[in-house]
Structure 1
């Protein structure tokens, strides 16, 4: 079908009907395409790798760090370009009144005239005690530090993504447990109602189970809300619209690979972290940059030598007299040639008018050049140069302390992470045993309940104890996994689920 509906066809009833049908078809096609794309997006589940890759491109913190790195790169390029000779062209045009200096002759004249001039100036630094060289090197190191800062920000974002991802998995496991609990309570409620109807149990037994079912339903709503909020948190870290259809892969926590704890000893992890983590490289580069700034500021206190040169020319529209050669006239002097005196004559000049010398000729006649060497010796400048030097030395001390503090904090964090991982593993093992014991107790309680040897209240208590033990064991397992992954992250293994 032709995609262009001609106006001539719309004027007729048949054309209007065809136009209406075409619009309906287009609307249906667009709607189908829109909903199909949403359906495809909803079915496309994201694993941790995809989430991290998306975040590294779209996260705001990463973008901010990248912008800062670009700023420092521009500074570095500008400092490198400062070594090249400067070249500047200037021009002026103006009208002068009264007694003014004629720029072409340098003579003060009582005249009104239009003047214009052009200059081309160049200057280059010859020697400045390596101040410029050290400034360039400091800016290069600063730029390298900012690039490493981008990597650090990416690592931090990836770690936060992993935490949010695990939080979703935990919340969904809790939702599954809550659903299982509701199904168990519903089954027990059906059995209790039958026994109450048969007169085997009093009505309070079924009422207790109905109350427990309401509690279980409330718990399900709470954990489902927590799961939804965890998804929103992950979307925020991804800088993704909250309304975007989004779901993640849900691998079993039992299948998440973990390095043996023996391979994550704190001394080994600290050595690898010091060599590989971007934050340590940032501190090293910032310290080196500060040291170069000290050398640059010290060089600024000494004399500097530069070379300069320029071209210039001027033009004025002042009229100058125009002369014509006239008849020869005697000067009153004589000259003796061969014993005979002759009068000395000279040509006469008669002013016949005034004219303005053409622009091109004036530019050629007034064209001048200059070249030289300049010496700049700082003597008294309000202690600006010395203060900058002293300040740069203090900056070195600041970065030394910052580096030392970062190393101490990293070591403390790694040892703390290792201790927490050991404790989390022990707690997880203990919670697993608690689940096994609670499951056996619940199994015995259910058997006694089936033969009317246990009240509904006691059964609910046993069931709640089992549910609580399962929730706690699930939380402990995810906590253990996260703490192990944190150690792997420090070790340089990356984040893998």
Structure 2
């Protein structure tokens, strides 16, 4: 009994290790041929792998978040392009002044309530700024392109995660079938042992051992069923299915060729790496971010250059105290009397004569409040200004910014090299794992064949009372363990090969 429990624990541990290995596969280095297709509808029948991938790509939240991030970078790029355009702002104010205040138009002190309006239009255009505006555009364009590659990477990761969960579910289903066949065999063995016990051919302990083995096999079925339910839940969560669709979720189980049905798996690792490095979005994104960091250096160095701007404004205003002189249309003549001086008496008083002089007429006028639009027209003022700023000393901010930009460029270059190194290591690891899984399958298949004969021989001896129940259960459990190894090696090889196919740009299909 202890031996049986130990075997069961080993099978559960091995199945768990395979699940962890599949989910920890280098899913980040796979290329997908799927584009931005419309939202896929849930199929009515069993789900194929392609249908599961299409649906996940259309409904997964991580992919949507990557898309929103790219849209944000696009908005930043648009804003940086708009920075090349001149700015234009319109301003208007309305003010009431009470008591003694300065008239904003006549600049005289007046003791009255004055309502005034000021209107202005201001525009500014940067003529030169050390090429910072154009370098900002180029940097933001590279960042936007990198974010598009991030979307592709998120889609690739999701596609391989779905494939991993899909194959894990198929593996669990096959393990259930294998364990159910063991249960059927154990039930038949119990029935035979009961007959032999009644006939007196075997001892009662044989029946107890057979019943113990049956209970162990039934427990294995329950364990495999639980693993199947977990794998199914993982896949449903990746697809982001609602409750009704998840309740009826089933996968299509295609006929998969055995690993030993083909020649030993061989692959040109260098060619696969070059193909993957030229097509995988994460490699391209890393290279784009290196270029973006280099533009960041040029952008920071632009702070050393002078800045030249053109500024223009138009202002006008209105005041309720504003007046204008208006002619009344009347005129007044001036009459001046004529006096005569005695030349012989220069210091005497002049004598009024009977003559008079009529002066020119003077036009009459009065001051009236000026109209609103008349004042706006009369008070227009214009300004044109060139502003030149030459940086001399600003707390070493520009120099520090350049140094930080250089460090950032070096960091991004190292990330790009690390991405390529990780890709090469992932390809090599996936290839070694695929070869090992193929060889393990072949060995497990031969082991199953040998243990099948051994188990049949043990069953015959057990039925004839020549073998005790413990040894018989050990032989049967050895066969179960070998069969489990064979199935798991098969699916491990299939997944690793699909990962390598993805590296080579092939579609992800079963």
Q: Do the structures match in fold with TM over 0.5?
A: yes
1:266 to 266, 269, 287: 269
Q: 1:94 to 1:331 in 2, by over 3 A?
A: farther
**Separation in structure 1 between the aligned mates of residue 272 and residue 499 of structure 2, nearest angstrom:** 11
Kept in 2, the 8 Å contact 1:128–1:305? The answer is yes
The answer to whether residue 480 in structure 2 is matched with residue 458 in structure 1 is no
TM-score normalised according to structure 2 size: 0.82
| Mapped pair 1:188 → 2:202 | no
- Counterparts in 2 of 1:225 and 1:331: CA distance versus 1, 3 Å: farther
Q: Which residue of 2 aligns with 1:77?
A: 78
Question: How many pairs were matched up?
Answer: 451
Equivalent residue for 2:421?
408
Is 1:435 the counterpart of 2:436? The answer is no
1:188-227 matches, cutoff 5 A: 188-227=189-228
Which residue pairs with 1:360 in the alignment? 373
> Who is 2:114 aligned against?
113
Over residues 344-383 of structure 1, what are the superposed CA-to-partner deviations in whole Å (9 max), with x where a residue is unaligned?
A: 44526465xx643221111111123323322222233333
Instruction: Return closer, same or farther for 1:276/1:341 CA change in 2, 3 Å cut-off.
Output: farther
* Partner in structure 2 of residue 93 of structure 1: 94
Q: Give the match's secondary structure for 2:309.
A: strand
Whole-angstrom CA distance in 2 between matches of 1:358 and 1:195: 124
SS of the equivalent of 1:253 reads coil
The whole-number CA distance in structure 2 between the counterparts of 1:93 and 1:138 is: 44
What secondary structure sits across from 1:246 in the alignment?
coil
Distance 1:282 1:258 in 2: 39
Q: CA deviation at 1:416?
A: 1.9
| Contact 2:337-2:357 within 8 A present in 1 as well | no
Q: Which residue of 2 aligns with 1:167?
A: 168
Go from structure 1 to structure 2 and tell me whether the alpha carbon gap of 1:274 and 1:312 turns closer, same or farther (over 3 Å shift): same
1:34 maps to: none
Give the direction of change, closer, same or farther, for the CA distance of 1:99–1:255 in structure 2 (3 Å limit).
farther
Q: How far off is 1:66 after superposition?
A: 1.2
Q: TM-score, normalised by structure 1?
A: 0.84
- For 1:404 and 1:332, locate their aligned partners in 2 and report how far apart those are by CA, in whole Å: 110
What corresponds to 2:8 in structure 1?
Answer: none
Task: Determine the structure 1 residue equivalent to 2:334.
Answer: 329
Is the CA contact 1:72–1:143 (under 8 Å) kept in the aligned structure 2?
Answer: yes
CA distance in 2 between counterparts of 1:286 and 1:465 reads: 55
Which residue of the partner structure matches residue 52 of structure 1? 53
CA change 1:473–1:331 in 2 (3 A) is farther
Relative to 1, partners in 2 of residues 1:418 and 1:206: Cα closer, same or farther, differing over 3 Å? same
Cα distance, 1:492 vs. partner?
Answer: 2.0
Q: Please, which of 253, 260, 283 is the counterpart of residue 256 of structure 2?
A: 253
**Residue 311 in 1 paired to residue 314 in 2?**
yes
Counterpart secondary structure, 1:300: helix
Structure 2 gap segments, 5+ residues each:
1-40, 340-354
**Highest RCO, 1 vs 2 (Cα 8 Å, sep ≥ 6):** 2
**Aligned residue among 425, 432, 435 for 1:419:** 432
Confirm whether residue 347 of structure 1 aligns to residue 362 of structure 2: yes
Specify whether residues 267 and 41 from structure 1 end up closer, same or farther in structure 2 by C-alpha distance, changes over 3 A only: closer
Equivalents in 2 of 1:481, 1:296: separation in Å? Answer: 49
User: In the superposition, relative to structure 1, how do residues 443 and 256 fare at CA in structure 2: closer, same or farther (>3 Å)?
Assistant: closer
Corresponding residue of 1:489: 502
